[in-house]
């Protein structure tokens, strides 16, 4: 009996060792030691997570907004759920009555009135290296513990001038807003809720990204099957439309993206976000295919 069990034990140890090796792939310089998520950055940003994902949850969101799910559950139509979510955000964060939320009347009121989750994701679609993009990348840092690697230029670590400039852009985008980071927490949580309803039992989505050269990304190594190990920025734009990705570069990067790492996608809020096929994805280490177009 013992001899029969030994191969299984050795196989289990080999699998465990393989998992630990994949989990150790996220470089220490690309992560924070703490985050606001149910998994630490070194796990959720690893190759092991891409291969074996589990649901991610931002601290406190379900507890504070459990009534939202109760409202959404009986609604069968996707568009009606999106409207319910938008109405909930408007009321919860006083988006149409910022003075009720504590904003002091004055000349800044008009400029800050649109500084909400919709303005940020629309700004990302227009220019992911703009101020709205800086806010979203900073949000991803604080929630998932994955440091931004690029924002208009490479960011060379937390002490570099480039990184301090990036932080300044993010802080200026957040200043004076009405809990915009909490709004983004809810947007991510609603996105995960919708993906679970529309794609039950699915753990990954096949997504594409057009790039100009392989050097556009931080390549960590190669897999035996020829795929690349790359360290992606903490937030990245992908598309579900391969032909659309072809328009943005000479190479096609294709990844199996864990459903848990989709922050939002344009069809999530029909009529509220432009475009149809963009997915914004939380980064980390990914095994990807890169093909010449």
Scored b (16 or more CB within 10 A) or e, 131-169 reads ebbbbbbbbbbbbbbbbbbbbeeebeeeeeeebeebbeb
The count of other CB atoms within 10 Å of the CB of residue 173 is 22
Low-confidence ranges of the chain (pLDDT < 70): 1-24, 98-114, 275-276
Residue 5 pLDDT: 43
Closest by Cα among 22, 24, 54 to 287: 22
Q: Please write the tens of the pLDDT for every residue from 100-117.
A: 655 556 555 555 556 799
The radius of gyration of the chain's CA atoms, rounded to the nearest angstrom, is 20
Q: Is the pTM of this model over 0.75?
A: yes
Residue 239 pLDDT: 94
| Integer Cα distance of 76 and 214 in angstroms | 43
| Integer Cα distance of 7 and 140 in angstroms | 43
Residue 234 pLDDT: 97
Residue 56 pLDDT: 98
- Alpha carbon dihedral 144, 59, 206, 78, in 10-degree steps, equals -140
Residue 176 pLDDT: 79
Domain spans, the chain: 61-198, 204-292
258: left (phi over 0), alpha (psi -120 to 50) or beta: beta
| Integer Cα distance of 249 and 212 in angstroms | 4
Q: Please write the tens of the pLDDT for every residue from 190-214.
A: 999 999 999 999 999 999 999 988 8
Residue 250 pLDDT: 86
């Amino acid at each position: 009996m013992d001899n029969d069990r030994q191969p299984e034990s050795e196989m289990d140890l080999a699998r465990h060792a393989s998992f630990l090796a994949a989990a150790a792939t996220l470089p220490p310089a690309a992560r924070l030691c703490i985050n606001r998520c149910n998994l630490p950055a070194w796990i959720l940003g690893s190759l092991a997570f891409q291969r074996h994902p589990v649901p991610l949850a931002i601290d406190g969101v379900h507890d504070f907004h459990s009534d939202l799910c109760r409202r959404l559950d009986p609604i069968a139509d996707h568009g009606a759920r999106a409207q319910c979510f938008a109405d909930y955000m408007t009321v919860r964060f006083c988006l149409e009555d910022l003075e009720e939320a504590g904003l002091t009347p004055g000349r800044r009121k008009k400029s800050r009135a649109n500084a909400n989750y919709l303005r940020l994701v629309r700004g990302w679609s227009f220019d992911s290296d703009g101020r709205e993009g800086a806010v979203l990348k900073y949000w991803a840092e604080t929630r998932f513990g994955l440091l931004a690697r690029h924002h208009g230029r490479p960011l060379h670590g937390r002490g570099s001038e480039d990184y301090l400039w990036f932080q300044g852009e993010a802080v200026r985008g957040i200043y004076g807003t009405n809990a915009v980071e909490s709004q983004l927490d809810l947007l991510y949580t609603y996105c995960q809720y919708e993906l679970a309803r529309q794609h039950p039992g699915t753990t990954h989505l096949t997504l594409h990204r057009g790039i100009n050269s392989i050097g556009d990304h931080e390549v960590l190594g190669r897999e035996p099957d020829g795929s690349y190990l790359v360290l992606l920025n903490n937030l990245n734009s992908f598309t579900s439309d391969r032909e659309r990705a072809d328009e943005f570069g000479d190479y096609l990067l294709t990844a199996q993206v864990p459903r848990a790492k989709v922050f939002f996608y344009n069809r999530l809020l029909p009529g509220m976000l432009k475009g149809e096929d963009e997915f914004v994805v939380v980064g980390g280490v990914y095994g990807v295919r890169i093909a010449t177009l």
